[in-house]
Structure formats: C-alpha cells, structure tokens
Amino acid sequence: MGATWDGCDPVSALAAAVEAVQALRPSPDAVLVSGDLAEHAEDAEYDQLRELLAPIHAPIYVLPGNHDERAALRRHFDLPGVGGEPVQYAAELGPLRLVVLDTTSPGEDPGALDEERLSWLDAELRSAPEAPTVLAMHHPPLVTGIPALDAIGLPAEDRRALAAVVERHPQVRRLVAGHMHRAVTAVLAGRAVLAVPSTYMQARLDFTSNLLRTVPEPAGFAVHVLLDGEVISHVQQVDRA
C-alpha cells in the first residue's frame, strides 16, 4: 500500500486480486503474502491492507519485503518474535508445511541470508523431514538476466549457502518468492523456484538496461496444489476492469 508507480492504484489492484482469490474453487486453505505489504511501512498502510484482505476467510500468512519494517509488521499481524528480529516461522497447512524465511536487510533493497538465519532454517527443516514443504521468502534465490532486478536480488554466495541447506532436505518441494514484479522460474539444489508476479505493476523484460522500468502487464498470483505429495504451481492472471 502507498505506492504510486506510473499512476497505477495499488488499492484497486489488490482489491481485484482479493476478488480473484475469493473466486477460486475450492477455496484456498491458506493465503501467503510474499512481502512488500506497504511502501513506507506506515501503520496506516498496514491498517488499509488488513481491511483489503478481510474478505479472505482463509488463514493469511505474511513475510517481510524490502519495503516493510519488521516491528511494524508484527504490530499488525500475529507473528512470532519481537521487534526487529527476522520474521521466520513455520505453519502446518494440513498435509503441507509452510516455512517462512526472512531474506530482508533493513534499509536495503537487495536481500541477505546470514549464518544465523540459515542455521534456523536447517533446524526447522530437520524438525519435520517427512512433511512436504514450501519454503517462502521475499527475495528469490535465482538470477533473472535482467540487470536491474539482479542488482537487488540475493548475492551469489547467499544463494549457494541456501542451496547447501535445501539440498539436505528432500521434503522441500518448492521455493516461492516475490520481489521481482514478474513471474520467473529457476532451479536451486534440484528444486523449482518460483517468483510470483506482483498484484500491482510488473517489471519490464529488459536484458540490457540497468534501470528498473515497469510495464502495465496483467497482475497475478500463484496457486499451489499438493497432489500425491508433490506441489504443483499455477500462475493465475488477475483481470482488472
């Protein structure tokens, strides 16, 4: 909330996405919001976000993006931890497990994963080795080839360190993230990585420019389905009037 890119209204954009989620049949068991819930991390923005998400009756899980502030996020959502600690937790969604990993570096657009966060992840995954798991974060552990996006992603050494942890835990079926403002897929440690499109503006596909430009392509979100122990992911377009 609070963004003003290219004159696009983030409020109506998110309202359209919420309406599209409500139209899904069967209704989702849970909804994940993968970061950048606000533009300036102001309380009024999070209040407005809660109002917009209210029509969704499924449990809502959130994680911080580079525009969020951890303590502010905790004030408005029921999240473990205190203050400015990394927002990290696990949730049991029936037969599927969600593990949330904080990739944010306060005050910075690029992400980061230090040894402490990776050690937490390793222990959390080790605690439930049989449960099919989706690992969620804001900064996707991939390279897009788009200079402007890769400049604000996860550093190569952090991607390699994350891959070493994931490789030890075969129950991780999918890694999901936001941040890229477009749909991107890749592979990390033999597992599929999916960066979902934004419910707001999308980033232009430009392999030559160091400037981040937006394009009014359709918004979207991912729908994840657990079938026979495997996670199947669909990217669903949001139509706006």
Statement: residue 6 has pLDDT above 70: no
pLDDT in tens, 43-74: 999 999 999 999 999 999 999 999 999 999 99
Quick one: pLDDT at residue 110? 97
For the chain, what is the mean pLDDT?
A: 94
The mean per-residue pLDDT over the stretch 233-241 comes to: 87
pLDDT in tens, 181-199: 999 999 999 999 999 999 9
Quick one: pLDDT at residue 55? 96
The mean per-residue pLDDT over the stretch 24-29 comes to: 96
Can the peptide bond before residue 155 be classed as cis, meaning omega within 30 degrees of 0?
Answer: no
Could you tell me the domains of the chain?
Answer: 5-222 (3.60.21.10)
Q: State the distance between the two ends of the chain, measured CA to CA, in whole angstroms.
A: 20
SS (H, E, C) 139-175: CCCCCCCCHHHHCCCCCHHHHHHHHHHHHCCCCEEEE
Statement: residue 150 has pLDDT above 60: yes
Q: Which residues pair with 232 in a beta bridge?
A: 225
Query: What span, in angstroms and rounded, lies between the C-alpha atoms of 83 and 89?
Result: 15
- pTM of this prediction? 0.95
The mean per-residue pLDDT over the stretch 115-119 comes to: 98
